[in-house]
Structure 1
């Protein structure tokens, strides 16, 4: 066999084996997703896997709108619920980078009448260690769920509730802390939370299909949210987005969330030292370490460290998993709170990690 023919044969084998591997990988992911999103006549979801910023997998399943019989596409816009907290945390760090606040500042510096505000710091709010009452666990929540609430009205709603524990004593996931952070962002920046996120994050990262949620404006390619009842699917419960506010009111797409991750990786939004603050583990007063940074859970997949966060809001669920050592990002978005992408997204990340390490 001539050298030329040998090279051609080798290239063919490499291409064929690479192509075969890609097809097997795709089928395995399809199988994982179809276990929870298999009915194409139900609300569905969108999933994306990227490595080094390049897309390895990108597909949508089910319906974006049941009434109009519209199929889901990867371009559809979803509410992302508590994944919003990542953006709020980075917004706080942007303000720190600008010299406008410090994460060790006491809450009383910004909200003078906040009970025990001299003992609670911005750091406590970011890490869910403040001990303040989570408004989502308050019985009175239904009385304001559909009202237009200003940030200070939201803070007033829960600030006089008895605290659950002293600041720094324990980690307990808390939506109120992130609402307070949104209020501080507005006070310090002189802008609305919506405008600050849009100008300092969405526009800089090129996230042109991400928004502060609204039911009043037209959102191109909006996926509609659903609940599942005994008799079938119903439209999601309507709430005022001013209630979850900076703890859960953003909307995005799978592609925009990859841009978000890339902007963090490339220090487009924050310098290295500020970025590091978001992704390091911290300690309680007792010295015990806990697995949450600023806006991200810091866990691992089979011993490989990852950063992850999910979201749940009426009609929608979301999940994002990032593996820094391999620059793998997996995102799953669902337009029914009956279909959780959490475990599926983690399993896709696990499969992808195994695939790239072969």
Structure 2
């Protein structure tokens, strides 16, 4: 009996030692960038089989009030919004309301070259449409309330950068057009459709279409860093990034999102697979992008990745399907990026699995 107890004690202590060692390794990776207690910081999560195995916050949520970040703090997630936009398009396709092979002229008849640009091109950043974030007049509309049509009118007459399907070039404008198509097809605003068909359905109770006006419980405030110190983030109208980058969420809610995709709570397997397929250009060259996700690998193990950046905030998520590992990081200063840190943590997890 003593031998059995000693054996169990050894196993438990070894497991505890490993857990502590792993957490310390993760902490050390994060602290290479997020090491300032009195400045803005970030929150990080690692999950295995749909459940958190590491969750921690670093730094402050509000510098003026000296409030610490918490794992449940609400962050703007920037371009991780594109995942939601892409899945909604597939949801509407599943319901027979559109097809990803449709030309956008079917929904926006006056769109220039709309009879050449398919919904598929918008989803995969292969449309050739000019990215509105690279236009000279962006500062003139950044703080204006823009309808989706006004946003599209802002960039639609810009000449194509290349013919649809010829090239992959990351493009926010395409996802603006997708958001407008969602509204035209569903009869709901993008904000309302996301809330009722995703957030409410899978219990993402602390996720929102971004706003600086409403009271958001546990909000993390965004910051820039200047040579003389930190300043509050620049004001932006969220009607400008719209379906390309205007959502807010938490670590817990984004894990619910990832789990819902794994469990096919929103889409059937056949439809969901379209989001995670590597597509080809007109010349047959394969691109590392599906619908709303970069499709890459860590040491040969396939991953689904996406980050985001918007005034005052940065985000990054890496999912490893074969191991059901999800690594996620949010920052509330655009001076600190979680991108490489999240990738490094994912690589650490992969290495530990391969031992």
Indicate the TM-score class for this superposition, using the shorter chain for normalisation: over 0.9
**Distance in 1 separating the partners of 2:204 and 2:234:** 27
Show CA shifts across 1:116-173 (max 9, x none). 1011000000000000000000001111100000000000000000110000000000
User: What residue is the counterpart of 2:303 in the other structure?
Assistant: 306
**Distance in 2 separating the partners of 1:190 and 1:178:** 18
User: What residue is the counterpart of 2:100 in the other structure?
Assistant: 103
Show CA shifts across 1:26-63 (max 9, x none). 00000000110001111001000000011110000000
**Distance in 2 separating the partners of 1:74 and 1:171:** 35
Show CA shifts across 1:51-81 (max 9, x none). 0011110000000000111011111000000
**Distance in 2 separating the partners of 1:324 and 1:14:** 29
User: What residue is the counterpart of 1:285 in the other structure?
Assistant: 282
How far off its partner does 1:275 sit? Answer: 0.6
How far off its partner does 1:6 sit? Answer: 2.2
Does 1:353 find its partner at 2:354? no
Give the alignment partner of residue 83 of structure 1, picking from 67, 80, 84: 80
User: What residue is the counterpart of 1:272 in the other structure?
Assistant: 269
Aligned partner of residue 349 in structure 1, secondary structure: helix
Does 1:12 find its partner at 2:12? no
Does 1:183 find its partner at 2:147? no
**Distance in 1 separating the partners of 2:150 and 2:271:** 30
How does the TM-score come out when normalised to structure 2?
A: 0.99
How far off its partner does 1:354 sit? Answer: 1.6
User: What residue is the counterpart of 1:135 in the other structure?
Assistant: 132
Aligned partner of residue 353 in structure 2, secondary structure: helix
How far off its partner does 1:94 sit? Answer: 0.5
Moved more, 58-67 or 8-17: 8-17
Aligned partner of residue 68 in structure 1, secondary structure: coil
Q: How does 1:220-231 map to 2 (within 5 A)?
A: 220-231=217-228
Aligned partner of residue 318 in structure 2, secondary structure: strand
User: What residue is the counterpart of 1:208 in the other structure?
Assistant: 205
**Distance in 2 separating the partners of 1:275 and 1:347:** 27
How far off its partner does 1:10 sit? Answer: 1.5
Q: How does 1:150-161 map to 2 (within 5 A)?
A: 150-161=147-158
User: What residue is the counterpart of 1:165 in the other structure?
Assistant: 162
Give the alignment partner of residue 118 of structure 1, picking from 77, 101, 115: 115
Aligned partner of residue 14 in structure 1, secondary structure: helix
How far off its partner does 1:115 sit? Answer: 0.5
Aligned partner of residue 352 in structure 2, secondary structure: helix
Aligned partner of residue 39 in structure 1, secondary structure: coil
How far off its partner does 1:357 sit? Answer: 3.0
Does 1:343 find its partner at 2:340? yes
**Distance in 2 separating the partners of 1:334 and 1:142:** 24
User: What residue is the counterpart of 2:293 in the other structure?
Assistant: 296
Alignment size in residue pairs? 355
Give the alignment partner of residue 244 of structure 1, picking from 236, 241, 245: 241
Aligned partner of residue 330 in structure 2, secondary structure: strand
Aligned partner of residue 303 in structure 2, secondary structure: strand
Aligned partner of residue 171 in structure 1, secondary structure: coil
Q: How does 1:38-53 map to 2 (within 5 A)?
A: 38-53=35-50
User: What residue is the counterpart of 1:26 in the other structure?
Assistant: 23
How far off its partner does 1:204 sit? Answer: 1.6
Aligned partner of residue 24 in structure 1, secondary structure: helix
How far off its partner does 1:216 sit? Answer: 1.3
**Distance in 1 separating the partners of 2:235 and 2:293:** 27
How does the TM-score come out when normalised to structure 1?
A: 0.98
Give the alignment partner of residue 332 of structure 1, picking from 329, 332, 344: 329
Q: Which runs of 5+ in 1 are unaligned?
A: none
Q: Which runs of 5+ in 2 are unaligned?
A: none
**Distance in 2 separating the partners of 1:132 and 1:312:** 20
